[in-house]
Amino acid sequence: MDTSAFALIFGDGGIRARLDWRRVHDECTVEERYTRSRKELGELCTVWYTDESGRDTGYAHQGARPLRVSEVAITEASWPRARASMITTLRREFGRSGRPVQLALPGYRAGDEVVLLDGNHRAAAAYLADADTRLLLYILCGPTDSGMLPDLRHYSR
């Protein structure tokens, strides 16, 4: 997949992370990865953060640390209501469907890490439900500066 196809699939407002779409075409390539591994799903980084006390916080908060999919439950008690409701609903659905969960998600490569650009709720719910998950990742590979994506400030140190 090239960046034009990536933009066609994911660039219609579905990605709410503040990605600089103007730079994507000129400065990025796209890597595709398929996995059925729960461990690999759990290692993906979300655009959710924890503070020093283990509470949910924003990416710009002093001392914010990004959470992996496997760690999101750490901040569950302080999740915004909409996040809690969405994950609860999806987790229940994924847990009782009896079918594999199929997720096609966009990400951004930051060194050895992949930061999810969208689908954080679905990824977390599938992980927490311990669902049989088929994961197809479309990963942008480009500069790791915060001008491309503000969240990258946590990875480009």
- Locus of tokens 């760690």: 71
Quick check: 66 and 49 in contact, CB under 8 A?
Answer: yes
Give the pTM: 0.93
Distance CA 18, CA 104 (A): 19
| pLDDT at residue number 157 | 54
Give pLDDT tens digits along the chain (157 positions).
Answer: 899 999 999 988 778 788 999 999 999 999 999 999 999 999 999 999 999 999 999 988 988 999 999 999 999 999 999 999 999 999 999 999 889 999 999 999 999 999 999 999 999 999 999 999 999 999 999 999 999 999 999 986 5
Look at the alpha carbons of 119, 63, 85, 96 in this order and tell me if their dihedral is positive or negative.
positive
Residue 67, helix vs strand vs coil: strand
